[in-house]
Structure formats: structure tokens, C-alpha cells
Structure 1
Amino acid sequence: MRVRYDGWILGTGTTSGTRLVVGHWPRSPLGPVSDVMVERPDGHRVLLAQTAELAEFVAGTYTFDEVQVVPVTVGRAGDQWVVHAGPLALRVTVGRRPALGWLLRTVPSPLARTPAWVGLLDPVARLAGVRTRGTAGNGRTEWYGVQDLHLLRAVSATWDGADLGGLARVDPPVRFGFGSVPPTPSVVRVTTTIGSSTAL
């Protein structure tokens, strides 16, 4: 059994050392949903999920020290993203599409989303420090079909009103599971396919 989450993944570090991964899914088996994975400088990993069903599924796929079900909103207008998720407030300015982004756009979307194509790209992706295919929690396998990529130009974030600082690399890498985000802050257009006999 396979399910698909279609949308965007945004990954960034902050100068405080907190790293953030936003999943914004307008199309999913659970309807339009969003979540944020947070890793603090001390390594504490937090999931902020919009619904209990999403929290259960994501926490069953990745590893967290803490899970919170909170209101999550993602607003996108032009090059601006505004994310509110419980204690987190995040504003992002999206920048240019690099050469890799232009290359990704040359692949027809129906092909780019297929697990077979994604599996072929995984050895190349590993050279960049990321993976497009791997085994996740509860016997699940995931395929990340990336179709576009933009770099981030600016970030501002707070946690319970405390400033997390500005834009920084995702370094050290986040530790939620096999999947990661590039060390360079970016946002990708992606279709995530999850295969499992127990998925949803």
C-alpha cells in the first residue's frame, strides 16, 4: 500500500543553532495539512503537527523526543512564507532557483514522482548529503520525488517570543530519520510517497 503527500519541504538553520524543517502538504491522504520538525541546539527533537492523525503518522515514520499537536498555518505570497506553529513563528524570504533547481524542472512531473525514478537518483543525492529513498519507521519505505528547488534569502524565527536568530546552514544535519534536507537553506517542491503494509 502506498500513499502520497504532495507539496513543499522547507529546511533552514538559524544562528541560534535551532534547525527547522517545514512540511506543507496541500494534497495528502489527511487533506491539506502542515507540520514542523524542530531540532534544538542541544539535540532535542520536537514535532509540531496540525492534527492528531498527522502527528501519529509522522511520529511513526520519524523519531522525536517530543510531539505537540498545535494549530499550524502556512501562508505563501510571492517570495514570502509565514509559518505559525504553536510556539514557533517563522518568516522566510525565498530566493533564486540554482542550477540544480533548473535541472529538476526539466524532468516531467509524472516521471519525477515515480518511485522507480526516485530510486535511480538516490546514489547521486547521497553525494550531496541527502537521500531520495530509504527505510523509515514501522517498516515504511519513502521516496522523495523532488521537482523544483529554490534557495532561501532570509529567515527570522521566534520560539515562545524568544529570538532564534537569522538564516544559517542546516549544520549539524537534523536527526529525525533517514531523510534530511540539504545543508544550504532551501525549499523544494516534492511528492513524498510512503509504502507500507500498515500505512494509513
Structure 2
Amino acid sequence: MGTRRGERLRFDGWILGTGTTSGTRLVVGHWPRSPLGPVSDVMVQRPDGHRVLLAQTAELADVVAATYTFDDVRVVDVTVRRPDPDTWAVRAGPLDLELRTGRRPALGWLLRAVPPPLARTPAWVGLLDRPARVLTGLRTTGSAGNGRTEWYGVQDLRALGAVRASWDGAPLGGRAPVHPPVTFGFGSVPRDPAVVRVTTTLALP
């Protein structure tokens, strides 16, 4: 995909974030609508801090690796299935991940009350950055890698229930808090495992 200076790229879909009892933390980006078509990726941080990107295509790997920081970037087959609205099954190279969503907390209901066209706009997202930092410790906008700016237009949030994950067939354990926080870039995910409905806008320098 060729990109132009000052261009804005919009990725619309979901971000899932969870820790595991082994200490590995996982962040899944599932983007049914993006400039690259339907794509998905997984950011993995091992207990020793090693950061791995598993991307579905080379183009997606280029975009994500230029925005965040990784120690290892791999282009692998990535599939995301939803057999029912509450179940997710992710396969990404050596990773197998299955999970179920749980309840929608009060913050999720508040996010759903905002009309989606408004929730996706960078201007609205920028207004929410300071309250989000105070209430959740997370940011909705900031400076990403290589002079890029990113906005997270969050429209819903659900807690995660049961989580089952393995790497090359070795179990990673069950659900655990995302702790310590992941260090891919300025953006993060809630400490409590969750799936977030989000539109991510990325402005190129």
C-alpha cells in the first residue's frame, strides 16, 4: 500500500487485550474495515519483555511496525472467528487463543451512548484524552512512532471471561491482568482483560 504525507488511515474493528497466568500479554487487533482490506494482527509481550508482532500481511506489518516498537516482526497466517457473539477464536502462527466475553461495565454503557459517527472523530477523541487518563490511566490520542499521531475512537467495552491460550502448543495459562503494562508504544489496553470496539485513526507526518 502506497501512503502519502499527511494521509490519515482509519482501521475500524476491535482490540482485545489480556494477560495470562504465564506472564505473556496479548493484544489482538481485528480490523474488518481498513485501507488494507479485512486484516488482523497480534502484539505479544513475553514475561521477559520481548515484544513480537504477528501480522496477517506484509503491508499490515509495515504499518504497525512503523507505529509501534517490536523486537521481532513476523508475517503469518492470522484468522479470527466468532462462532457466536460472545466467543472469539484467534489463530496467528504459533498462537492459539480462545476467549469468551463477559459483562459490559458501566464505562461500556457510557461509551455506547455516544453516537458512533461522533465517537470516531479525532476532535471528539482528543476531548476525551484527559478524562480517560484520569479515570482509566489510558490515553485516547498521542504521538506514535516516526512522527505519527493516533486517535482511538472507543465505542464499546466488554470484560473478558474465560481465556485459553497456547504458543507452539505449550499452554500460556488462563486469564490474568495485563500487568505489567505492555510497552509497544504510547497506546495500551485496560489492566483488566477486555475487548474494545474501536476506530483507530492514524495520521502520517
TM-score interval w.r.t. the shorter chain? over 0.9
CA shift, 1:78, in A, is: 2.3
CA shift, 1:3, in A, is: 1.2
Corresponding position of 1:107: 114
Pick the aligned partner of 1:96 from 100, 103, 107: 103
Q: Pairwise mapping of residues 66-77 of structure 1 onto structure 2 (< 5 A)?
A: 66-76=72-82, 77=84
Unaligned stretches of 5+ residues in structure 1: none
Cα distance in structure 2, aligned partners of 1:23 and 1:78: 17
Cα distance in structure 1, aligned partners of 2:27 and 2:58: 19
> Does structure 1 residue 180 correspond to structure 2 residue 188?
yes
Equivalent position SS for 2:138: coil
Q: Pairwise mapping of residues 2-151 of structure 1 onto structure 2 (< 5 A)?
A: 2-76=8-82, 77-127=84-134, 128-151=136-159
Cα distance in structure 2, aligned partners of 1:80 and 1:32: 19
Matching residue's letter, 2:149 = T
CA shift, 1:124, in A, is: 1.2
Equivalent position SS for 2:202: strand
Matching residue's letter, 1:4 = R
Cα distance in structure 2, aligned partners of 1:135 and 1:176: 13
Cα distance in structure 2, aligned partners of 1:57 and 1:172: 25
Give the stretch that moved more between structures: 124-133 or 47-56.
Answer: 124-133
Cα distance in structure 1, aligned partners of 2:137 and 2:79: 29
Alignment TM-score, normalising by the size of structure 2:
0.95
CA shift, 1:23, in A, is: 0.0
Q: What are the superposed Cα offsets for residues 20-69 of structure 1, whole Å, 9 maximum, x if unpaired? A: 00000000000000000000000000000000000011000000000000
Cα distance in structure 1, aligned partners of 2:137 and 2:117: 25
CA shift, 1:104, in A, is: 0.3
Cα distance in structure 2, aligned partners of 1:78 and 1:29: 25
Q: CA RMSD in A?
A: 0.6
* Runs ≥4 residues deviating over 2 A: none
| Count of residue pairs the alignment pairs up | 197
Matching residue's letter, 1:25 = W
CA shift, 1:125, in A, is: 1.2
